[in-house]
Structure formats: structure tokens, C-alpha cells
Amino acid sequence: MEIKETKELLAAVKKLSVDVIKGLKDGVQFDDINILIGNIDSIKVALEGIGQVDDELKDLDLNEIKDLVGDAIDLVTAVLAAVKSDLPAAVVE
């Protein structure tokens, strides 16, 4: 069995998390809704196959586990980088 749906879910979580963290660094504002709008395609793709994730995870082989661990590490690394990043210059000025 493939792990396509699980990988798409992790990719969507990563992108949305990073975008939300960066978008909210200057505080919550009305135009932050654009973060969700900008991520609607990746969210849609992830949600379309979310029902298959459980079955994919039940049937993992060693290579798939390594692949998903790599994706999870990338997700955490990206989130930490977003948390540590400075505010954009336009916000600071």
C-alpha cells in the first residue's frame, strides 16, 4: 500500500502551520484569513484522502516508516524555523 494520503496530510499540516505562525507574528488581523484562503488547495487535497490515512499507517513497511519520519522531521524543522524567524521588515518599520 502507498502512503500518498499520509504524505499529503503531513505536507498540508506543514504548509498551513508555517504560514499561520508567520502570519500571526505581527498579531491577529482581519487579513489573516488570507492564510487559510492561500492554503485551501493543500487543505482540500489532504482532506479528500484523510479516510485512507489510517489504513496506510496500519500497513507500513520499513522504507515507508523512514520516509514518513523524514517528512515529520521536515515539518518540525520548518515550524521551528518559522517560530524563530524575525518579523518581515515591512511589519517592523
User: Does some domain include residue 39?
Assistant: yes
- CB hemisphere CA count around 83 (13 angstroms): 8
What's the structural domain count of the chain? Answer: 1
User: Does some domain include residue 91?
Assistant: no
Confidence label for 1 from pLDDT (cuts 50, 70 and 90): low
Structural domain harbouring 66: 4-85
User: Does some domain include residue 34?
Assistant: yes
The pLDDT of 8-16, averaged and rounded, is 95
Q: At what angle do helices 40-48 and 4-24 cross, to 10 degrees?
A: 150
User: Does some domain include residue 78?
Assistant: yes
CA distance 52 to 20: 26
User: Does some domain include residue 8?
Assistant: yes
Mean pLDDT rounded to a whole number for the chain:
89
Tens of pLDDT along 31-58? 888 888 988 998 999 999 999 999 999 9
User: Does some domain include residue 93?
Assistant: no
Q: Is the separation of the CB atoms in 41 and 11 below 8 Å?
A: no
Give pTM, 2 decimals: 0.81
User: Does some domain include residue 52?
Assistant: yes
Residue environment code for 20-58, b if the CB has 16+ CB neighbours within 10 A, otherwise e: bbbbeeeeeeeeeeeeeeebeebeeebeeeeebbeebee
User: Does some domain include residue 90?
Assistant: no
